[in-house]
Amino acid sequence: MAFESLQGIKAYSHGSEQTFVVGDFFAVYSKNEEIPTIYNWAEVKSIIENRTDFIINVGGASYDIPKSCIPDERKLLNLRGVLEGAVSTNPSIEYHHQKRILPPKYLYMNGDVSGAPYIVSGVYKEREINFSNVILINTRIGKFLKIFAVLVIITAFLLLHFYYGNTDENWFYFLPVSIFAGGIATMIIYLICAVIANFHYSSLDKIDPALSKEITFTISEEGFSAVESHLYTGGEFIPWNEANYFIETNSVFIVYKNNKAVFWLPKRLFKKEAQKEISKFIHERLVQK
């Protein structure tokens, strides 16, 4: 159970001429009808969020709620919160969503935050996410890059050997050229990764309106959360025991659940000393990779 206190949302689709009410129940008013068809969330089979719509499949029917029918981004995020809250309460609902930085709300639980939690608010910055993405990619393919560099060096050396020959006399020239070639090739791959990371962020920025909104981050004894500030209630978090491990970069802490990054916490939102405390705090609860 989570995000059950978010306001219900009403949306009218011009295409299908249907009005949807999403709250504790899912209701659909067809054209010119005063009595809606009402569904309990337990009846819903799946919810799919794509770039333009939310598609709700229930009882042999499929309802398409275009995102465009909710022009206010805050309300759109509210709608997404209500839907994901329903998924949290009814785990039988299949939920497919697009990539995002913020943890999906169905991962959250209601609960009390004890002690003195770290609570900060701020907006994600493109640079820190990109940089971290590159580092993450490097961490993942770092070993392969090294092997690749060595292979390029050896290949370049062999090519020079077969092409120019007389290696005994020229190895002094061949070696730096080969190393340079290996370095350049690796650099090119690194740059490609950076471009991919950048593209990844800019595509996220386009599809996830939450990225440009102020986010409230909480780290407490019980768990962690990153929620759009206008939806933040203070009573929902992802428990530590449901996360697997974390990675710390120069600019962010990234917590993983089921091998997916679910929580990005920018370090710049904290003072130096607090950063150390938080690092220690997370270390005590999760394994660092």
Partner 1 sequence: MNPIINAYQLIVGSREFMLVDISRSTGTIGTVNVSEFAQYPRGVTPITELLYAGEEAIINMTRPARGDEYTDKLVHQISTITICGDNVKTILSATSDNYFTYSHSMAKSLNPVFELLSDGVYVCHEAKMIPGNGAGNFFWNGYTQRHIVSGTANYSRNMGKESNYTPCFLLPTMNPSEFSEAKVKTQRDKLSAGKRIGGVALHMSGMFSALLDGHHSAVACLLSDFEFRCLLIEPIRDMLYETPEQAMQYGREPRIIALSCPYVKIPMELIPPPMLESFLLRRNNIKPKHYQQLKKNANKILRTVGRKSLPREVLLKAEHLPNHAAIESAHAVTELTDEQLNALLAGETKYEDKIIISSNYYNSVITACNYLQFEDFERFLRFTFTIIENPDLKATHKYIIERLCTINNKKIYDFFTALSEEEKLVHADHISQIEAYIKGYEKNINDVLIDKENKSKSLNRAMGFLGGDLDQAGIAQMEAIVKASRRG
* 3-state helix/strand/coil string of 237-257: EEEHHHCCEEEECCCEEEEEE
Is residue 59 at the binding interface for partner 1, with CB under 8 A as the rule?
Answer: yes
Distance of CA 184 to the CA centre of its chain: 32
Write each residue from 217 to 256 as x if it is in contact with partner 1 (CB under 8 A), else as -, in one continuous string: -----xx---------x-x-x-x-----------------
State phi, psi for 269 to the nearest 5 degrees.
Answer: -75, -10
**Residue 27 or 247: which CB sits closer to partner 1?**
27
Is residue 148 at the binding interface for partner 1, with CB under 8 A as the rule?
Answer: no
Question: Which residues inside 71-130 make contact with partner 1, applying CB under 8 A?
Answer: 91, 109-112
Question: Which residues inside 163-192 make contact with partner 1, applying CB under 8 A?
Answer: none
First to last CA, the chain: 31
Q: How far is CA 262 from CA 93, 145, 238, in A?
A: 20, 26, 10
**Residue 209 CB, nearest approach to partner 1 (Å):** 22
Q: How many CA atoms lie within 13 A of 184 on its CB side?
A: 7
Q: Is residue 119 classed exposed, middle or buried when 0-12, 13-18 and 19+ CB atoms within 10 A define those classes? A: middle
- Part in contact with partner 1 (CB under 8 A); list of ranges 20-28, 124-132, 165-173, 278-286: 20-28
**Residue 101 CB, nearest approach to partner 1 (Å):** 23
Is residue 7 at the binding interface for partner 1, with CB under 8 A as the rule?
Answer: yes
Asked if 265 and 217 touch (Cβ cutoff 8 Å), the reply is yes
* Interacting residue ranges for partner 1, rule: CB under 8 A: 1-2, 4-10, 21, 23-25, 27, 34-40, 43, 59-60, 91, 109-112, 222-223, 233, 235, 237, 239
